[in-house]
């Protein structure tokens, strides 16, 4: 196994390369090139006072950038022009701006940070999963730790003082974690625990002071957070007993909160909130096989909660207006279902079902100050 590290700074238009191993260099023609089991790290920094650390000492075939073509290291070819051309051709992790910090630790096997090439004079740092990994702006921080197998991590930050953390524990396998942030002082963290296998997690935040957190200890699950606005908070937790589960939180506005927790298999949970000051919580516990939950709130200061524990559950809350409150609790066996729809202001309603086969309940309220309670056992 040989290892290659390529560090570049546009400010000095230089290229520094290090390589070990007979496959990388020969006495006749010293050449730096990639190998099938090579650890490679290529970081491009543009601006001032940026910092980057890459540790691949415990990894095999770790990639934080990689070479696409060989680099001739003979003295006559070590020029700024050749170095910059080689850098532009290579896939690189990018930091552009001032006072940005990057830490990458790659252990385990076949882990990579998603990258692209053509970054030497790159001007477009819009959020796009096809555009690799980068931080552009001032005071952004990124920390990536990959200790599992076949893991992929990606980050994109455009703005100031954003923070992104991705952790894939040892024994995790075939994971993807992506954080995409545009604005100021956003914070995201994705944890993929040792029991994670074939999972994906993404956090996308556009605005200021948003917070997005995902925890996965599951199999064949996906989690997705999208927040547009300011001061929104979202958290998704998929525990070790979860499999074939999907969870999604989408918030558009300011000061919204959306939380999902999932235990069980074949379950789905979705929260969409448009407005300001809305709150939603979905809990799917126990053997929540084939469960479904959906909360959609349009307006301000609405609250929607769903709790499910059992088999073949269904729940849906849609609230339009301001100050509405809806609650669904389903615990028991097969066939339960619920429905709440409220259009107006300051309405309240709850549905509680448990222990019965094929139960069904639903109500709709139009106007203001209405209240409905349904209980079925």
Q: Which of 29, 18, 25, 87 is nearest to 54 (CA)?
A: 18
Position 21 scores a pLDDT of: 38
- Contacts with 367 (C-beta within 8 Å, 6 or more apart), sequence order: 344, 347
- For the chain, what percentages of helix, strand and coil (3-state, to nearest 5) are there? 5, 60, 35
Region 298-315: mean pLDDT is: 90
Three-state secondary structure string covering 279-327: EEEEEEEEEEECCEEEEEEEEECCEEEEEEEEECCCCEEEEEEECCEEE
Position 332 scores a pLDDT of: 65
Q: pTM of the full predicted structure?
A: 0.91
Position 15 scores a pLDDT of: 35
Assess contact for 304 and 295: CB atoms under 8 A. yes
Position 16 scores a pLDDT of: 35
92: exposed, middle or buried (Cβ count in 10 Å: 0-12, 13-18, 19+): buried
Position 99 scores a pLDDT of: 98
The SS3 call for residue 90 is coil
Assess contact for 242 and 220: CB atoms under 8 A. no
Position 117 scores a pLDDT of: 94
Task: Give the tokens for residue 141.
Answer: 């921080």
Assess contact for 223 and 216: CB atoms under 8 A. yes
Number of H helices, E strands in the chain: 1, 34
Which range (143-157, 189-203, 321-335) has the least confidence? Answer: 321-335
Which range (23-27, 43-47, 320-324, 366-370) has the least confidence? Answer: 23-27
Assess contact for 56 and 39: CB atoms under 8 A. yes
Rounded Cα–Cα distance for residues 71 and 160 (Å): 35
Q: Whole-number mean pLDDT of the chain? A: 88
pLDDT class for 67, splitting at 50, 70, 90?
Answer: confident
């Amino acid at each position: 196994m040989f290892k290659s590290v390529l560090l570049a700074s546009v400010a000095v238009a230089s290229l520094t390369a290090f390589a070990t191993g007979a496959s990388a260099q020969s006495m006749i023609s010293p050449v730096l090139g990639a190998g099938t089991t090579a650890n490679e790290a290529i970081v491009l920094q543009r601006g001032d006072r940026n910092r980057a650390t890459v540790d691949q000492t415990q990894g095999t075939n770790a990639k934080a950038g990689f070479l696409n073509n060989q680099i001739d290291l003979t003295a006559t070819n070590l020029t700024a022009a050749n170095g910059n051309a080689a850098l532009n051709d290579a896939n690189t992790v990018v930091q552009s701006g001032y006072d940005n910090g990057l830490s990458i630790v790659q252990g385990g096997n076949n882990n990579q940070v998603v990258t692209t090439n053509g970054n030497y004079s790159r001007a477009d740092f819009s959020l796009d999963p096809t555009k690799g990994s980068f931080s552009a702006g001032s005071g952004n921080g990124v920390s990536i730790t990959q200790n599992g197998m076949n893991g992929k991590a990606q980050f994109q930050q455009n703005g100031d003082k954003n923070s992104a953390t991705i952790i894939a524990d040892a024994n995790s396998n075939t994971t993807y974690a992506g954080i995409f942030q545009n604005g100021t002082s956003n914070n995201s963290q994705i944890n993929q625990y040792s029991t994670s296998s074939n999972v994906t997690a993404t956090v996308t935040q556009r605005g200021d002071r948003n917070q997005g957190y995902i925890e996965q200890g599951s199999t064949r699950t996906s989690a997705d957070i999208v927040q547009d606005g300011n001061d929104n908070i979202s958290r998704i937790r998929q525990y070790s007993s979860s499999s074939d589960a999907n969870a999604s939180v989408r918030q558009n506005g300011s000061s919204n909160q959306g939380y999902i927790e999932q235990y069980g298999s074949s379950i789905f949970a979705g929260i969409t909130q448009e407005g300001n000051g809305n709150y939603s919580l979905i809990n799917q516990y126990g053997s929540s096989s084939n469960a479904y939950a959906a909360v959609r709130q349009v307006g301000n200061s609405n609250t929607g909660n769903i709790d499910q524990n059992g088999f073949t559950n269904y729940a849906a809350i849609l609230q339009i207006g301001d100050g509405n409150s809806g609650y669904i609790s389903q615990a028991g066996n097969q066939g339960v279902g619920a429905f709440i729809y409220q259009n107006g202001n300051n309405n309240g309603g709850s549905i509680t079902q448990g222990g019965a086969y094929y139960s069904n309940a639903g109500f709709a309220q139009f106007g203001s100050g209405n209240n409905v309670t349904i209980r079925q056992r």
